[in-house]
Amino acid sequence: MPYGYRKSGDKITVFKKDTGKVVGHTTPAKLKGYLAALHMHSKDMNEADVMDPKEKAATLAAIQKDIEAKKLALKNAEDKLKNLKEFKLASYIKSILEAEGDEEAPAEEPAADAEGGEGDSKETKPAPKQDSLQIQFNMANVKKYNNYPVIDNTGTVTGVSKEGVTVLVGDSSIFVNFQDIL
């Protein structure tokens, strides 16, 4: 509270705590009303000045918990956004294939030196043929942004980019946006 008081004889002297300047005098019976009137008209007052210390501590703790919860929610939202930005169809398809039990193609070993040193006679195994991925798409939308005739709504994925996939339909390769995949 910005105001304090002290007893001087049979009167109470009220003063500003920060400057010590005397604001006025009152009787002990009228002290509460006098302070209430001063607080009501004070520009320096806020809710925390008149709050019980225990209530103030509890309110502060609740506000801090609320802030922490909002920080956590913001971090979770940022993580979700980051995951969306980093989403790659190729990685997603690879994870599906691995989940179905298909094994990832092993990396090729480096070729032996031209001189044929000791232990360099390892044979390289060709990577096993991977299954092709067939997709269906909205043919009406895809026709709007491809120069080639789109004759079917099903094709084999041949490439992936940030915007969509390249699909082989018949003898033509067309582009399909992600939102047009069914």
pLDDT on residue 86: 66
Q: Write down the mean pLDDT value for the chain.
A: 77
Question: What CA–CA distances, in Å, run from 77 to 81, 91, 92?
Answer: 6, 22, 21
Rounded to a whole number of angstroms, the distance between the first and last alpha carbons of the chain is 67
The first and second tokens of residue 3, run together, are: 């105001």
More confident of the two residues 109 and 155: 155
What is the band of 81 on the pLDDT scale with cuts at 50, 70, 90?
A: confident
For 138-168, write each residue's pLDDT tens digit.
888 888 888 777 788 888 898 888 888 988 8
**Strand order from edge to edge, sheet including 22-26:** 3-8, 11-16, 22-26
What is the band of 129 on the pLDDT scale with cuts at 50, 70, 90?
A: low
CA dihedral 89, 90, 94, 100 (to 10 degrees): 50
What is the band of 107 on the pLDDT scale with cuts at 50, 70, 90?
A: very low
What is the band of 95 on the pLDDT scale with cuts at 50, 70, 90?
A: confident
Asked if residue 126 has pLDDT above 60, the reply is no
For 44-75, write each residue's pLDDT tens digit.
656 656 567 888 888 888 899 989 989 888 88
pLDDT on residue 132: 77
pLDDT on residue 105: 46
pLDDT on residue 112: 47
